Structure 1
């Protein structure tokens, strides 16, 4: 009788702060991918992170979705060791990687793991992308750019493969970095069940930020996320005498929060968890997503799954994600964005058409498919199969996650 192959031993390197709820898109990806891999019968997975994250019960905090998984820790403080590795490539993680077939990071990290292969996820390269210099005018942004230019080549040098989430992000990485020796492979993103399930709930029964009709803007009031343009849409809605608000969820930048307080029809709701986000999406007339730069654009996918029409910018990865299932336009065309929101707020055949197209498109993006792609990469890296890694690096994300 043929014995089944031994499970692939995966050590998942985490910065737990990124995974604590409520999460951003990177944290959502990390939680979903690690969980999906851990649940595969052909994988045994444990976590690796700084010991400083452990509570008195020897586990991650209560708002860490991965706290039930087996774990290993290292002694150095996370922030110190991460900065040191990005600057110098040390300290080595070889001792902590021992016993694993492959080390996997669902977010950017320098993984000097010695003889154990390493696979790292890089979600975008916004900090150094030459197409967006206007967003790097502050001293803090310029310091971030210098740090990225220092450690980005080291990330590729330390990795047997780099994962990313969209074809657009892969193109930008290849253009910015000499990736000839490190395959860049697209695994995509998926949609959490809560955003599909909320569609069965009548909008009138959903929690909402206020009694008025609204478009939901996810990602916080931030310059790179289109804060100026989306506030202009709110002001235009007020100028036209509409009751429709633009509600911003996510962590705001102080500068834009102050502007929002002076902008009619703008509401800042701040960070919220997934369940409340699903309610807010389901009750919204539309989602407004005029970001200047996205590595993927997961909020648009979640809105479509919830049955909420999307009005999105037609830049970076967003057309790849939204396709013809939403209204894509120039981020600066705030008049057309206002027109689309008002059309969706009126209901009717146009709105229903986009709801159905959006639901169908979102269904193509699943965490199971993302995890399958990642599993193929991790297996190839563990077996030092360079030919398969090169083949996977040429596959486009044409069929969703």
Structure 2
């Protein structure tokens, strides 16, 4: 069966990539690779900011500029007045207002349900409306983890039989352990030894508690490490981060480096030479930084909540993210117990190989084919 598959390419057209954009780019690339017999139309407001490898697949770009609410309004108009694919794939849970064809959407997380205080009224209403539209109009939903699927079932009435769990993959060519003859770059070398954190710098990601844990490690346990935090200031509680930073003694503050947004290659380099990824986020739909660290041969200290135990398994140190002392104790287990560190590094490398984008793409194609056939029975 050959399908005409429509793809919402608005995320891959963004200038800077974070979680949803990376997912969109990788899943599109691997859809073309594993199912080149289908025909694809990418609808987007502009071309992708990264080179999208289409291989031998039949891929058409449809560039349709529009200033705001591109998916909801402009893509709707295209689907009504233009060519009609057999099935539409939206790599987020924002559906077109009108979509007269079977549609599959991806739900990444429902953080706004868990942390409503960090969302403004307008943003919260926008998220609520998007979730309502997705669960009211999608033929099938893809959840990126069992934890996200449970949240969809908890907060909506969407049928469980129409939700497919498809885990992310990890780019093992980019994220890999350091080779025996590989040395850190000048940026990494000047901060050795260091602990690494990546993601938005905000209370929603538990950055304030991470900073307090680092203070304990420096002042009580006298660790020699720097703390490198990569990521932009977030919109959900950055003021709380600033408040904690202002409380830190000068000596501890000088050991903390907020380096801003880093691209994929820089992130991979920072991960490879870190003594640990410290990822105490209070909520994750998947937890991509943890998987990338595992693939890089870097042990992980992470929260024992939401999707993180599902992704990390027994290959990392899972801690109570609500206690700075527990986070600090988790880090100490890694940097003071070489045998524990060695065991977790080996286990993480092995587990990371289970998560491939090829596997994710094959599962996604199966979901799209079922949606096109309007098969909504449980497998």
Q: TM-score, normalised by structure 2?
A: 0.87
Deviations 1:283-319 (A, max 9, x none): 1000000001100101100000000000000011111
Choose which of 301, 305, 317 in structure 2 pairs with 1:311.
Answer: 301
| 2:242 equivalent to 1:258 | yes
Match of 2:86 in 1: 101
* Counterpart in the other structure of 2:178: 199
Provide, for residues 245-303 of structure 1, a one-character-per-residue CA deviation record: whole Å limited to 9, x for no partner: 22111112352563465442322111101111111001100000000110010110000
CA separation of 1:311/1:75 partners in 2, compared to 1, >3 Å: closer, same or farther? closer
- 1:347-358 aligned at under 5 Å gives the runs 348-358=338-348
Matches of 2:148 and 2:88, distance apart in 1: 22
Partner of 1:394: none
What number of residue pairs does the alignment pair up? Answer: 363
Q: How does 1:246-325 map to 2 (within 5 A)?
A: 246-253=227-234, 254-256=238-240, 258-259=242-243, 261-262=245-246, 263=248, 264=252, 265-325=255-315
Root-mean-square deviation over aligned CA pairs = 2.5
Moved more, 162-171 or 146-155: 146-155
How far is 1:386 from its partner? 2.4
Task: Give 1:348 shift.
Answer: 2.2
Q: Is the 8 A contact 2:105 2:141 kept in 1?
A: yes
Instruction: Tell me the secondary structure at the aligned position of residue 354 of structure 2.
Output: coil
Partner SS, residue 193 of structure 1: coil
* 2:28 equivalent to 1:42: no
Q: Are residues 207 and 141 of structure 1, via their aligned partners in 2, closer, same or farther at CA, if it must alter by over 3 Å?
A: farther
- How do residues 2-401 of structure 1 correspond to structure 2 at under 5 angstroms? 5=1, 7-16=2-11, 20-21=15-16, 23-39=17-33, 40-50=35-45, 53=46, 59-61=47-49, 64-66=50-52, 70-77=60-67, 79-82=68-71, 91=77, 93-98=79-84, 100-112=85-97, 114-127=99-112, 129=113, 132=114, 135-137=115-117, 140-180=119-159, 183-200=162-179, 204-206=183-185, 208-209=187-188, 210-240=190-220, 241-253=222-234, 254-256=238-240, 258-259=242-243, 261-262=245-246, 263=248, 264=252, 265-346=255-336, 348-387=338-377, 390-391=378-379
Structure 1 residue 161: Cα displacement: 0.7
Tell me by how many angstroms 1:67 deviates.
8.0
Q: Distance in 2 between matches of 1:83 and 1:124?
A: 19
**d(CA) in 1 for partners of 2:210 and 2:160?**
41
Residues 322-352 of structure 1 show CA distances to partners (whole Å, capped at 9, x for unaligned) of 1100000110232232233234234622111
Distance in 2 between residues matched to 1:284 and 1:244, nearest whole Å: 10
Q: Is the 8 A contact 2:14 2:48 kept in 1?
A: no
The CA distance in 2 between the partners of 1:167 and 1:354, in whole Å, is 23
Shift of 1:238: 2.0
Contact 2:72/2:97 (<8 A) preserved: no
**Alpha-carbon distance in structure 1 between the residues aligned to 2:97 and 2:125:** 21
Q: For 2:117, what is the secondary structure of its paired residue?
A: coil
Q: CA 1:185–1:97 in structure 2 vs 1: closer, same or farther (change >3 Å)?
A: farther
Q: CA deviation at 1:84?
A: 5.2
CA contact 1:194–1:274 (8 Å) conserved in 2:
no
User: Is the contact made by 1:111 and 1:159 (CA closer than 8 Å) also made in structure 2?
Assistant: no
Instruction: State the distance in 2 between where 1:94 and 1:181 align.
Output: 29
SS in 2 for 1:385: coil
Note if contact 1:194-1:278 (Cα within 8 Å) is conserved in structure 2: no
| TM-superposition CA deviations, 1:367-394 (whole Å, max 9, x none) | 111111101010111122222xx32xxx
Structure 1: runs of 5+ lacking an equivalent: 54-58, 392-401
User: Would the alpha carbon gap of residues 286 and 96 (structure 1) be closer, same or farther in structure 2, given more than 3 Å must change?
Assistant: farther
TM (normalized to structure 1)?
A: 0.83
Secondary structure of the structure 2 residue equivalent to 1:336: helix
Q: Is the 8 A contact 1:11 1:48 kept in 2?
A: yes
Structure 2 CA distance for partners of 1:112 and 1:362, relative to 1, 3 Å: same
